[in-house]
């Protein structure tokens, strides 16, 4: 879904605003339907990794509260995907020129650069979240345009940066779980230290990504 939305943003000139809004609604519906199961799997893997890295004794590992996981029905997902297909057929994407597509690609880079600068000044969760989305857009858009100057390096850096920002967000979400927010819990310090380390790495990589040569036709 993230790849589809990133590519749709490349073609904004050929998509009416109300159509783009419909795209977002259907994509969000699919993502939300699968989010709970995905989040639980990610949290379990993240806890296992932190246990191995920081050598926490098993008795210090809190358990997440059990929650009923609902698997989305195949018919519901098929309906959403069918609607997306119809929306794609209704657009005039094929009439766009290479220059129009490249202009949207550069615009994505500029948005990401602005959000990176804001993230350097503060660790606001919402800003980091929006920056991560722009990094993902840049990654998928560059994958679709491998002929652009510096594409290979940009793909590698954007992929790595997206991973680091995603890990930071997963840690932030984990810290909000009641079991991990106990005042004297060793997990509080572990999560904070790990996020501090990640921050240095993703900001350094972000400067490298956006300092690289901008795409040109």
At 56-83, the pLDDT tens digits run 765 555 565 555 556 778 888 888 888 9
Domain boundaries, the chain: 2-211
Helix (H) or strand (E) holding 61: none
Q: What pLDDT, in 10s, does the model give residues 126-175? A: 999 999 999 999 999 999 999 999 999 999 999 999 999 999 999 988 88
Which carries the bigger pLDDT value, residue 149 or residue 188?
149
Q: Is the dihedral of CA 146, 147, 148, 149 positive or negative?
A: positive
Give the predicted TM-score (pTM) of the model: 0.81
Answer yes or no: are the C-beta atoms of 37 and 8 closer than 8 Å.
no
d(CA 122, CA 211): 20
d(CA 15, CA 69): 36
């Amino acid at each position: 879904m993230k790849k589809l939305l990133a590519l749709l943003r490349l073609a904004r000139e050929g998509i009416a605003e109300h159509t783009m809004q419909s795209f977002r609604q259907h994509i969000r519906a699919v993502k939300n339907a699968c989010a709970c199961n995905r989040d639980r799997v990610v949290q379990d893997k993240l806890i296992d990794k932190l246990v191995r890295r920081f050598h926490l004794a098993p008795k210090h590992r809190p358990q997440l509260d059990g929650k009923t996981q609902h698997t989305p029905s195949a018919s519901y997902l098929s309906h959403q995907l069918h609607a997306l297909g119809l929306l794609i057929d209704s657009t005039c994407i094929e009439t766009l020129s290479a220059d129009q597509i490249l202009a949207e690609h550069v615009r994505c880079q500029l948005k990401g650069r602005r959000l990176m600068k804001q993230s350097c000044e503060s660790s606001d969760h919402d800003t980091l979240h929006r920056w991560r989305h722009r990094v993902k857009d840049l990654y998928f858009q560059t994958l679709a345009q491998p002929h652009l100057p510096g594409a290979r390096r940009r793909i590698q850096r954007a992929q790595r940066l997206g991973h680091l920002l995603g890990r930071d967000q997963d840690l932030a979400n984990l810290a909000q779980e009641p079991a991990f927010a106990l005042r004297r819990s060793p997990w509080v310090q572990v999560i904070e230290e790990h996020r501090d380390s990640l921050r240095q790495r993703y900001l350094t990589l972000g400067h490298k990504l956006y300092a690289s040569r901008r795409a040109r036709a």
